[in-house]
Amino acid sequence: MCGIIGYVGSREAKELLLSGLERLEYRGYDSAGIGLLEDDGLDFVRAVGNLDHLKAAAASNGSKSTTGVGHTRWATHGRVSDENAHPLSGCEEGEIAIVLNGIVENFLELKASLLAEGHTFTSETDAEIVTHLIERHYAGDLVDAVRAVYRKLQGHFAFVVIHQDHPGLLVGARLQCPLVVGVGDGEMFLASSIAAFLRETNRVQLIEDGEIVAITPAGASFISVENGVREREELRVDWDDESADRHGHESYMLKEIYEQPSAVARTIEKHVDGDELRLDGLGLTDDELVKVSRILMLACGTAYHAGVVGRYVVEEWARLPYEFDIASEWRYRKPVLSDGTLVLGITQSGETRDTVHALRLARELGARTLAMTNMQGTQVTREVDNVLYTRAGIETGVAATKTFTAQVALLYLLALKFAQVRGAMPEEEIARLLAEVRSLPEKMTAYLDGDHPIEEIAQRHYEKPFFLYLGRGVGLPICLEGALKLKEISYIPTEAYSAAEMKHGPIALLGEGSPVVCVATDSDVYEKTVSNIQEVRARGAEVIAVATDGNEDIQHHADDVIYVPRTDSLLQAALAVIPLQLLAYRIARLRGFNVDQPRNLAKTVTVE
């Protein structure tokens, strides 16, 4: 969950490292640091807090160094402190250092042996043992030392090493955590994400598990831990670095909320050719798709909520059984997979550890596996049979917004494809629904450009101690996502429940003036939802309803109504979530919080 960047080349490294860390800060912001190779050894600048603190600390550093590493930390082992901030050095402060993302699971055993040899530790982290192990094995060849250390480590990690004896050289390695090479002209990068160096180059080389990579200004060498040198092709990514800037918005999250029409439009365009559903990434012929007897969706967090939306459309449109589970729970059960099961894993980052491992397990059990992700070249793309990509662009805000709606849009297309090959709906109905899906970006834009009472609602409720979110049918996963947004960025305890189920407990939480947010868009359970609204109003709750344009009836049942454009009832999910994102956003801002860097969170969860 931490962010790593390294640079070797002819330019001054300090500003490149700080710029790269800015693009990685969503991965953690408990502390940050840089290490620069100077003429007299390594020089470090570290700071607790977000990157602004590091920039201030580094402002007076006039380094001309052209070799360096940087790190932004999300604390796992060891408290948030200067001593635990990376880069982490060894017994000699200026000789060697590492930046590491992940967890070394056998660090206590390794640390005991190093202490017995006389090594002195200065941090509480598990990562520092890597520096000392390299010291132990170093005999002039840094690559050989890293290879020897790699064999001793257990866990999941990626790290980069810098050494005073090797100007213009960085050595990295990875095991189940992200690390990628950026290829420039006379310069090279190592980073946790392509976003870190995308402003400088879109040429990349991928590092596999069990490989050591050594970069110099002339290029990268890939060395297997076991079998020697390997060749590696160079790839070009077609991302746009523009999405990594705020472009005048007060936060990344707000910018990304307003980017949803273009994110959804690009995702649809990639998978639809004219009026034809393409979905080439499926990698299955129509005959093979017909043989799929069940879909099992695995994901975590926001991606899980998007995946739950998938059940409603796949089962109704394609008449295909669709189950879902939380990846972290599924992988530790003894799951039963029947013949014909397609296991779908959704992860915007492509690195979510539990989802990646669940898909690996499904593949080992013989299932066909499909990933849905926003990021090329990530770990999940190497673990599955096939990949469908969303085209949301880089999402920097920790609270996901545009990647959620892009995932939902892609699930709509997947459901229509299965409906088509299974003959579950007439072609004209499929064409009508596809046209409705393609109109979603326009309707999102209309909503975002419209005038809505979100500010007034937020002003009345931002100091309330508790919110309840209710929905039925496809509105339920939208409530789950809306409630998650409020919890993530405003820190208000929030419960999301099926409106029909709230009588089985959560209604006891309500009192006079309790805010209840209800997704009440037009559907075949609208009347049932209204009945549930009346039940909470009878307990004194104040109801905020999200409803479909033109529905005047809802005004008789709710204290406030936020209207979204009319579309097919199941497609309302992609529209109804937007006011919930904006409501959470305004409440968090009124409470004075940094929505882009909510406390204790990181965007990419690469630890269990």
Tens digits of residue pLDDT in 481-504? 999 999 999 999 999 999 999 889
Q: Within this chain, do residues 185 and 211 fall inside the same structural domain, yes or no?
A: yes
| End-of-domain residue from the set 449, 473, 503 | 449
42, 5, 35, 411: which is closest to 215 by C-alpha? 5
In a domain, 564, yes or no: yes
2 is catalytic: yes
Residue 529 is classified by DSSP as H
Tens digits of residue pLDDT in 373-413? 998 888 899 899 999 999 999 898 899 999 999 999 999 99
Q: Within this chain, do residues 399 and 473 fall inside the same structural domain, yes or no?
A: no
Q: Within this chain, do residues 472 and 517 fall inside the same structural domain, yes or no?
A: yes
Residue 60 is classified by DSSP as T
Tens digits of residue pLDDT in 547-576? 999 999 999 999 999 999 999 999 999 999
Contact by Cβ (8 Å): 490, 598: no
Q: Within this chain, do residues 428 and 468 fall inside the same structural domain, yes or no?
A: no
In a domain, 604, yes or no: no
Report which secondary-structure segment, H or E, holds 45: strand 41-48
Q: Within this chain, do residues 382 and 470 fall inside the same structural domain, yes or no?
A: no
Separation between Cα atoms, residue 115 and residue 99, nearest integer Å: 21
Domain, as residue range, for 491: 453-591
The distance from CA 356 to its chain's CA centroid, rounded to whole angstroms, is: 12
CATH of the domain at 546: 3.40.50.10490
Using only C-alpha atoms, the chain has a radius of gyration, in whole angstroms, of 25
Tokens 């070799």 — which residue? 67
Number of domains in the chain: 3
In a domain, 32, yes or no: yes
- Residue 249's pLDDT is 85
In a domain, 597, yes or no: no
- Residue 228's pLDDT is 81
| End-of-domain residue from the set 420, 449, 478 | 449
Q: How far apart are the first and last CA of the chain?
A: 10
Q: Within this chain, do residues 443 and 459 fall inside the same structural domain, yes or no?
A: no
In a domain, 287, yes or no: yes
Contact by Cβ (8 Å): 318, 144: no
Q: Within this chain, do residues 300 and 352 fall inside the same structural domain, yes or no?
A: yes
Q: Which two tokens stand for residue 251?
A: 């936060």
Q: 3-state secondary structure string, 424-439? A: CCCHHHHHHHHHHHHC
Q: Which two tokens stand for residue 566?
A: 């009319």
What would the DSSP string read from start to end of 547-596? EETT--GGGGT-SEEEEE----GGGHHHHHHHHHHHHHHHHHHHTT--TT
Helix (H, G, I), strand (E, B) or coil at 1: coil
- Residue 536's pLDDT is 94
Question: pLDDT above 90 covers what percent of the chain?
Answer: 83
Q: Within this chain, do residues 416 and 547 fall inside the same structural domain, yes or no?
A: no
b/e sequence 393-411, b meaning 16+ C-beta within 10 Å: bbbbbbbbbbbbbbbbbbb
In a domain, 245, yes or no: no
| End-of-domain residue from the set 415, 449, 483 | 449
Q: Within this chain, do residues 319 and 405 fall inside the same structural domain, yes or no?
A: yes
CATH of the domain at 181: 3.60.20.10
**Cis (ω within 30 of 0) for the bond into 167?**
no
Instruction: Choose, from 111, 417, 487, 603, the residue flagged as catalytic.
Output: 603
Q: Within this chain, do residues 426 and 458 fall inside the same structural domain, yes or no?
A: no
Alpha helix positions (H), 71-228: 107-116, 128-137, 142-150
Q: 3-state secondary structure string, 175-205? A: EECCCEEEECCCCEEEECCHHHCCCCCCEEE
In a domain, 182, yes or no: yes
Rounded average pLDDT per 10-residue block, the chain, 608 residues: 92 95 84 94 93 91 94 89 93 93 93 94 94 96 96 94 96 93 97 92 93 96 89 83 68 95 96 89 93 97 97 98 96 91 96 93 96 91 94 91 98 98 96 97 97 96 96 96 97 94 89 96 94 93 96 96 97 97 98 91 67
Separation between Cα atoms, residue 161 and residue 96, nearest integer Å: 7
What would the DSSP string read from start to end of 367-418? -EEEEEES-TT-HHHHHSSEEEE-------SSS--HHHHHHHHHHHHHHHHH
Q: Within this chain, do residues 372 and 285 fall inside the same structural domain, yes or no?
A: yes
Q: Which two tokens stand for residue 564?
A: 């979204």
Q: Within this chain, do residues 61 and 201 fall inside the same structural domain, yes or no?
A: yes
In a domain, 383, yes or no: yes
Separation between Cα atoms, residue 159 and residue 171, nearest integer Å: 8
Separation between Cα atoms, residue 430 and residue 408, nearest integer Å: 17
- Residue 242's pLDDT is 56
